[in-house]
Structure 1
Amino acid sequence: MDDILFTGRPTDVCLRLPEPVDKGTLHRLVGAAQARLAEAGLRPGGAVALRLPPSLAYVVNLLATWRSGAQAILLDHRLTDHEVDRALHRLTPQVVVAPVRTGGGALRVFVDVTEGVTAFSDRPAGSPHAVVQLSSGSTGPSKVIGRTAEDLVAEVHRYTRIDGVALPGERIVLLPSMVHVLGLVGGLLYGMHAGVELCPPQRLSGDAILAAVAAQDSPATVLGVPFHIGLLASTTPSGPLPQLKRMTTGGELVPAAVARAFTDRYGVPLGNMYGMTEVGVIGTDLYGRHRPAIAPAPGIRVRESAGELWVSCPASPYVGLTDPTRWADGWLHTRDAGTVDPESGLVTIKGRLDSQVSVGGMKVDLTEVEATVAELPGVSAAVVVWDDGITAYVQGDGTLTEDTLDTLLGERLAGYKRPRTLHLLGQLPRTTTGKLVRSATALREAAS
């Protein structure tokens, strides 16, 4: 990993938090962290669980873990103690790194952390993977997913071949967490390899994001998830932003109305990426030319089988007991419905496979119903699930009523497609990566 991360000169700035951190400084900090991990009991072939918020300490301890020849288990700092305890006893790291002090406030994207390093077990890592992550769990319990060093390096090189990514000498204004794959590989690892500065905003607000873009003269790409696009689409810039090159989003497809609001306001491309924790980036449309379709990323093959998208994956990414139907013979079964155009190769994602339901003998695609609800005036976000009938959970802008919703849907959807039950919420539940939660149980709890 050192070969791709510590290329370039020691004086090259790789992070701005907001003070610049060059590669020489980072290299020294990583060496000191290696010594602390070894003193706590880490040995080559062991594992380190990192339960740190986005911070310089997170970056340093992650790189120190890899330089020690150990596996990094990435635990989102927003997980509860109960969730963390279950993960630790399942994965048995030799060392746990967690904060003993944090500063900077809840809205800070990168925080000031003093970390504590404690011994946990004397067992070697349970798998040969360089990194172990938990899936976001938007539709149910999280899965344990491992990726090898070779796999991570291959994905970093894949990014260098994607037209539209930030180039050497440019900046990435990084919004997603580096605990998850988009921020980890598309942000941290790619940025360090390609000589692209990572410049997180000081706070997670529209004004702070725009301030980070304007802070330097070099071109900037904003990397985020759909939630961040809505945030920026509703923020009025205080002046011209010639530095803003584009915004790229991962996760679920951005509603067309939100995409239009963003591009009308900023006049730059809104790119889309499709990926999974299991394999990283799968496809992109960074110029917004093919929306809602994407082109497979270099080196990735995508095929359609009985309406499901399969992605090339040489080995199973799952750790421990898993559903054996999720991977077979070099193909990851995504559980996403979609199509692959036989001529252009463009891939169109149509939602989860379980979004196809039957109402009175009529087939209904819940993705279509959800898109219709999300496009309604006054709707900020929507999730439509099957829960003894079509059920819509809607986050409004404060002016919407359930009667108005029902009337608007009656004008736009056939009777058999209309939600039987509507729930209007002030805030829809989201995963730690910003994705809308689609578990019917979790949504019922939020509504109650």
Structure 2
Amino acid sequence: MVFHSEYADVPAVDLPIHDAVLGRAAEFGDAVALIDGAAGTSVSYAQLDVAHRRLAAAFAVAGVVKGDVLALHSPNTVAYPVVFYAATRAGASVTTVHPLCTAEELATQLRDSRARWIVTVSPLLDVARRAAELVGGIEEVFVCDRAEGHQSVLDMAGSAAPEPDVALDPGEDVAVLPYSSGTTGVPKGVMLTHRSIATNLAQLEPVIPMAPGHRILAVLPFFHIYGLTALMNAPLRHGATVVVLPRFDLEQFLEAIEKHRINGLFVAPPIVLALAKHPAVARYDLSSLDYIVSAAAPLDARLAAACSERLGLPPLRQAYGMTELSPGTHVVPLSAAEPPPGTVGKLIAGTEMRIVSLDDPAQDVGPGAEGEILIRGPQVMKGYLGRPEETAAMIDADGWAHTGDVGRVDGDGWLFVVDRVKELIKYKGFQVAPADLEALLLTHESVADAAVIGVYDEDGNEVPKAYIVRRPGAEALTEGDVMAFVAERVAPYKKVRRVEFIGGVPRATTGKILRRELRDREREST
């Protein structure tokens, strides 16, 4: 059976994302759009509107044209939205990059996305330069601050050149190209069109309304589709104020809530854990908070209840989606008085869902039964860049996106995500592909075979654990050796955090790793 949203359909938003978000910026005028939570400087809506248009003009002068890809390699800053909307106004697609990636990881993304331009910040310049050297074909590396030998976005935003007038097809042209591991495998470029991400904003409006005067704290990274949507596009579309922090530091985070009277938090489960249990929370006035929304990874219902009770808030809201879905499909509405504990919400407007049997995917199951979650709606991605076969495996001929998540729906339409079919590890909301780490581990001269699964640490975070088969004569290889080898070659969130040596990796006759056997082994040992 097909589950439908109880909300009225919304028309597709056939606008470029910069117009969909900043179309009312002039109307909001001197209202504060962005505040640097560390430095305290602010940007008004009028300034944001002018700056992104001037920067778009400067990008055009530099040679950015429709169809180019610009890599935005930066932590959260007040310049991030300016660069993003300027690039799309100039006709480019933006591929968002994890600021902690290595030069080799950045080069892989640059090569796959066919990026021609990089925008970074001076502390990350060495990584960006090295990546540009590795991949070749990069026209220029710009910086958001100041660095000798590089054009600064700060200066470019004062350009007097004519604003580019680029004809965009919102339904076909790609606005943003984040990288996701999908249900398994290595990261792939997710083609999200202007229409898909703009329409998803309209779909979310009835359940999480925002307006001028609302203050949102942006501590989750803008490069991640959750942060890009919930902390940048959605609030700026409605005239809210976004207080920007470059990373999560608990004391700085709490101080920003108190100082700027934040009323809405969009977080991941590790932050919920800190709010529920860390003693530092008691030292700050968090009374301005009206609600907390958690997404990006599963949230334990008891932890959610402990957090809301400690802060004196209504029940924490959860949301569900994935990069390939622009990203939202389900939200617990802010208006819901007593949502069932553990639910990730109800279908948002214009979205359909099926739950299909794990034993027979051709068979739908009804309320109460578990199965794989399938989604159809205007927010479904255009596809994986340059990977038609993997796109076809993700989105079937009828337009249903196969999420790889296992869920069930109750009689009132609330969705509960109970497991994952997919092998992807979610470390603090960031995607870690086991296949990526396995391929790296197999390059170690002392490793004969390797498998990686997600296990849970004492704080409830899913972390990568490697099962290693030593080569003959390599008995001296230690857990520390393995972890150090990986840590030197990947971004910090991808590090292997546990290691176990085994006699052989369980595999099917096809050679596929039997991760379920490793998970069973893990459960038996705890």
1:173 maps to 217
Distance change (3 Å), C-alpha of 1:231 and 1:129: same
Instruction: Describe the SS at the equivalent of 1:184.
Output: helix
2:28 matches 1:9: yes
Contact 1:304 1:310 in 2 (8 A): yes
**Aligned counterparts of 1:99 and 1:446: Cα–Cα separation in 2:** 38
1:330 equivalent among 396, 399, 420: 399
- For residues 124 and 492 of structure 2, the distance between their equivalents in structure 1, rounded to whole angstroms, comes to 21
Shift of 1:333: 0.2
Question: 1:382 and 1:50, CA in 2 relative to 1: closer, same or farther beyond 3 A?
Answer: closer
2:386 corresponds to which residue?
320
- Secondary structure at 2:101 match in 1: coil
Structure 1 contact 167–194 (Cα < 8 Å) conserved: yes
Change (3 A) 1:383 1:25: closer
* Alignment CA distance shift 1:167-1:26 (3 Å): closer
Deviates more, 1:94-103 or 1:80-89: 94-103
2:145 corresponds to which of 113, 134, 141: 113
Matched, 1:349 2:400: no
Match of residue 284 from structure 1: 331
One of 296, 300, 303 as aligned partner of 2:354? 303
SS class of match (2:341): coil
C-alpha distance in structure 1 between counterparts of 2:112 and 2:219, whole Å: 30
- Counterpart Cα distance in 1 of 2:105 and 2:224: 17
Quick check: 21-30 or 309-318, which moved more?
A: 309-318
- Listed as ranges, the gaps of 5+ residues in structure 1 are 104-110, 119-124, 356-369, 389-424
- Of 169, 177, 197, 2:241 maps to 197
Shift in alpha-carbon separation, 1:445–1:50, aligned structure 2, 3 A: farther
Distance 1:204 1:90 in 2: 29
Give the conservation status (yes or no) of the 8 Å contact 1:177–1:433.
Answer: no
**Aligned mates of 1:202, 1:383 — CA distance in 2:** 23
Contact 2:255 2:284 in 1 (8 A): no
Aligned equivalent of 1:74, options 96, 113, 116: 96
C-alpha distance in structure 2 between counterparts of 1:61 and 1:446, whole Å: 44
1:133 maps to which residue?
178
Structure 1 residue 29: Cα displacement: 2.1
- Determine which of 275, 288, 296 is the counterpart of 2:321: 275
How many Å separate the matches in 2 of 1:387 and 1:14? Answer: 44
Identity %: 23
Q: 1:232 aligns with which of 262, 266, 275?
A: 275
Aligned to 2:192, which of 137, 147, 165? 147
Q: Which residue of 2 aligns with 1:108?
A: none
**1:381 is the counterpart of 2:460:** yes
Give the CA deviation at 1:129. 1.0
Which of the pair is proportionally richer in strand? 1
**CA distance in 1: counterparts of 2:188 and 2:124, whole angstroms:** 28
In the alignment, structure 1 residue 156 sits paired with structure 2 residue 207: no
Letter in 2 for 1:57: A
Name which of structure 1's ranges 188-197 and 48-57 shifts more when overlaid on structure 2: 48-57
* Structure 1 residue 309, shift from structure 2 partner: 0.3
Residue 55 of structure 1 deviates from its aligned partner by 1.4
**Is the contact made by 1:57 and 1:114 (CA closer than 8 Å) also made in structure 2?**
no
* SS of residue matched to 2:43: strand
Provide closer, same or farther for how the CA distance between residues 345 and 256 of structure 1 changes in structure 2, counting only shifts above 3 A: closer
Amino acid at match of 2:399: G
Structure 1 residue 82: Cα displacement: 0.6
1:84-133 Cα shifts (integer Å, max 9, x gaps): 11121222223222223579xxxxxxx97337469xxxxxx9x8311111
Aligned residues of 2:219 and 2:246 also touching (Cα < 8 A): no
1:83 aligns with 2:105: yes
How much has 1:248 moved relative to structure 2?
A: 0.9
In structure 2, the residue matched to 1:261 is 306
Residue 186 in 1 paired to residue 230 in 2?
Answer: yes
The one-letter code sitting in structure 2 at the alignment partner of 1:317 is: G
Q: Matches of 1:333 and 1:272 in 2, distance apart?
A: 21
3-state SS of paired residue (1:157): helix
The SS at the match of 1:199 is: strand
> Whole-Å Cα distance in 2 between the matches of residues 216 and 230 of structure 1?
22
How far did 1:52 drift? Answer: 1.9
- How far, CA to CA, are the matches of 1:70 and 1:112 in structure 2? 18
My pick for the range that moved more, 240-249 or 310-319, is 310-319
How far apart in 1 are the matches of 2:182 and 2:105?
Answer: 13
State the AA in 2 paired with 1:295: K
Q: How far apart are the structure 2 equivalents of 1:216 and 1:58? A: 20
How many residue pairs match? The answer is: 370
Q: Using the alignment, how far apart are the partners of 1:138 and 1:310 within structure 2?
A: 13
SS at match of 1:251: coil
SS in 2 for 1:254: coil
Contact 2:466 2:498 in 1 (8 A): no
Classify the secondary structure of the residue corresponding to 2:146.
Answer: strand
Kept after mapping to 2: 8 A contact 1:40/1:95: no
Judged with a 3 Å threshold, the aligned counterparts in structure 2 of structure 1 residues 432 and 274 are, in CA distance, closer, same or farther, namely: farther
The Cα shift of 1:258 comes to 2.5
Corresponding residue SS for 2:60: helix
Deviation, 1:384, is: 8.9
Q: 1:139 to 1:47 in 2, by over 3 A?
A: closer
Judging changes above 3 Å, is the alpha-carbon distance between structure 1 residues 277 and 239 closer, same or farther for their aligned structure 2 residues? closer
After the TM superposition, which residues 364-403 of structure 1 pair with which residues of structure 2 at under 5 Å, given as runs? 379-381=458-460, 383=462
* CA drift at 1:12: 1.8
**Would the aligned equivalents of 2:217 and 2:243 in 1 still touch at CA under 8 Å?**
yes
Partner residue in 1 for 2:49 = 27
Structure 1 residues 301 and 230: alpha-carbon distance in aligned structure 2, compared to 1, 3 A threshold = same
